[in-house]
Amino acid sequence: MEPNTLLDSVLDEAGISHAGLAAHINEAGRARGMKLRYEHTAVARWLKGQRPRGQVPDLICEVLGERLHRALTLDDIGLGTPGSPRAPATPLSGFVERATALWRSDEQQRPHIVAAPAVTGTPAVIPVWEWENPPEDSDVSRRGLTRVSMADIDMLRAARAHYEQLYRKAGGVATRARVVGFLNAETAPLLRGSYPDATGRQLHRATGGLVAIAGICAYDSDAHGLAQRYFHQALRLAKASGDRGLGAYVIALLVNQSLFMKEYRQAVAFAESALRASGSHITPALAADLYAMQAKAYARLGDGAGALSCIRRAETAADRIRPGQEPDETGYVQPGLVNVQVAEALLSLGDLGGAREHATAAVGTPAHDRGRVHRLAMLTHIALRQGDADRAGATAVEMTERARGMESRRLRDRLRAVREHLAESGSAATAEAAELIDGALRVPL
């Protein structure tokens, strides 16, 4: 059950409260001979995704339509009958309205949006299946009030790069509100604007990259259901753009989230889908990351042969990476990233020597602070497993110093995990590092 962002958006536009809508529904029902006793709690349930019974969806359209002085359909308020055909006027019009409604609800911090859990099973798989399979978008042109130019698209690309760098330096908690505000203020009017097919494809590609950053920030803020919805939006935008490489990048983000959620078989399947469907459009950097994440998933599943096969493929792809020949989105695949991914896979397989070799190589390679924190955390964990308390303590101290000032739930998770392992060691070197981490964790987000 997904939150009804369309109904939430229309309610906000109409300027009517939950209790006010319930009262108007009861009154409209009485005019039809119905005895309704809805309260604000019922409206809250509808916003969380529950479908009202009987004629109530039609009454909602009637009440809100009168308030806004325009006719509303069930699709307009997110209550269209599942599986019913949609109007074919503009292929992406319905998606655009749903996407922008989510951005608006996120910016307004609607609790049922921010706290929504991630979907699993078939609802999680369908967006990936739809991206990989026909039909494709034959024409993404649109008629609107604002004419979209290449300068607008360049602005979106620049914004994506800016927010990505901000995320790396300050974390997703601090960055998310900024990128979502930009989506609402600048991106939504462009998507609803006027553009021919060729310009529209570039617009959807640029928007997809920006929406993916919003998803990354939501993931880093522990809003996993919201992050997943952003990733699904970015995947739909990638399909509209016709850029298979962008779609594979978005799926890599879904693979990473699946690993975090311990959906290891899903992670393997998603990575395989990206590698298969993108074909020659996939870049060496993205292929290396996907194979490395597959290796981690196979290792967690206890499939050593599968993990080692993927490790070899990841290393082969990493050797083919050429700076300057990758799209902006794969810039996160910096030297050493595959090493730390492989180290994690080998650690799960019990190969401590191999894991330490790869983790040491990763730490010895330059990286932005966020990436370096993760690499140092991995090396600390491996050193503790090998009984090297002095190395673990020194590495943990450097990790903690690098993490200071970053507002990130994921980094705090890494710090807590390292702190627990340090405390279990019981040595003076690790006790000092654990105390330093305690101080860093006391700083509220």
Q: What are 286-316's pLDDT values in tens digits?
A: 999 999 999 999 999 999 999 999 999 999 9
Locate 161 and state its tokens.
């790069």
Locate 92 and state its tokens.
């992406």
315 within domain boundaries: no
Angle at 80 between CA 114 and CA 233, to 5 degrees: 40
pLDDT in tens, 89-111: 335 777 888 899 899 989 988 88
| Rounded Cα distance, 64 and 295, in Å | 52
Listed residue (214, 212, 47, 217) closest to 116, CA to CA: 47
82: pLDDT confidence band, cut at 50, 70 and 90?
low
Assess whether 109 and 55 both reside in one domain.
Answer: no
Lookup result for tokens 């996993």:
224
pLDDT in tens, 175-198: 999 999 999 999 999 999 999 999
Residues 6+ apart with CB under 8 A from 279: 244
Lookup result for tokens 């269209």:
80
pLDDT in tens, 52-80: 988 899 999 989 988 888 878 888 888 88
Assess whether 383 and 445 both reside in one domain.
Answer: yes
Neighbours of 46 (CB within 10 A): 26
Assess whether 141 and 52 both reside in one domain.
Answer: no
Q: What is the pLDDT of residue 330?
A: 93
pLDDT in tens, 256-283: 999 999 999 999 999 999 999 988 889 9
Q: What is the pLDDT of residue 86?
A: 39
14 within domain boundaries: yes
| Rounded Cα distance, 381 and 387, in Å | 10
Q: What is the pLDDT of residue 10?
A: 86
Assess whether 214 and 111 both reside in one domain.
Answer: yes
Tell me which of 302 and 86 has the higher pLDDT: 302
What's the domain range around 387? 368-445
283 within domain boundaries: no
Q: What is the pLDDT of residue 339?
A: 96
| Rounded Cα distance, 368 and 169, in Å | 8
164 within domain boundaries: yes
What percentage of residues in the chain have a pLDDT greater than 70? 97
Of 7-16, 354-363, 432-441, highest mean pLDDT: 354-363
- Listed residues 222, 242, 262: the one ending a domain: 242
β-bridge mates for residue 195, sequence order: 142
- Listed residues 61, 81, 101: the one ending a domain: 81
Assess whether 103 and 229 both reside in one domain.
Answer: yes
pLDDT at 319 over 70: yes
Could you report how far apart the first and last alpha carbons of the chain are, in Å? 29
343 within domain boundaries: no
Assess whether 136 and 226 both reside in one domain.
Answer: yes
Assess whether 106 and 238 both reside in one domain.
Answer: yes
Alpha helices in 1-149 (DSSP H): 5-14, 18-31, 40-47, 56-68, 93-107, 111-114, 122-132
Assess whether 57 and 123 both reside in one domain.
Answer: no
Task: Tell me if 348 sits within 8 A of 298, measured CB to CB.
Answer: no
Task: Tell me if 15 sits within 8 A of 86, measured CB to CB.
Answer: no
Assess whether 98 and 208 both reside in one domain.
Answer: yes
For the CA atoms of 351, 355, 357, 358, the dihedral, rounded to the nearest 10 degrees, stands at: 140
Listed residue (192, 256, 266) closest to 220, CA to CA: 256
| Rounded Cα distance, 216 and 394, in Å | 30
Task: Tell me if 190 sits within 8 A of 148, measured CB to CB.
Answer: yes
- Listed residues 51, 81, 111: the one ending a domain: 81
Give the distance from CA 315 to its chain's centroid.
Answer: 26
Mean pLDDT over each residue of the chain, to the nearest integer: 92
Task: Tell me if 278 sits within 8 A of 247, measured CB to CB.
Answer: yes
422 within domain boundaries: yes
CA distances from 29 to 45, 62, 126, 217 (A): 19, 11, 37, 43
Task: Tell me if 119 sits within 8 A of 27, measured CB to CB.
Answer: no
Q: How many domains does the chain have?
A: 3
Assess whether 112 and 77 both reside in one domain.
Answer: no
Neighbours of 428 (CB within 10 A): 10
| Rounded Cα distance, 266 and 181, in Å | 32
Q: What is the pLDDT of residue 329?
A: 93
Locate 303 and state its tokens.
């499939």
Angle in degrees, 0-180, between the axes of helices 284-300 and 337-349, rounded to the nearest 10:
20
What percentage of residues in the chain have a pLDDT greater than 90? 73
Assess whether 73 and 102 both reside in one domain.
Answer: no
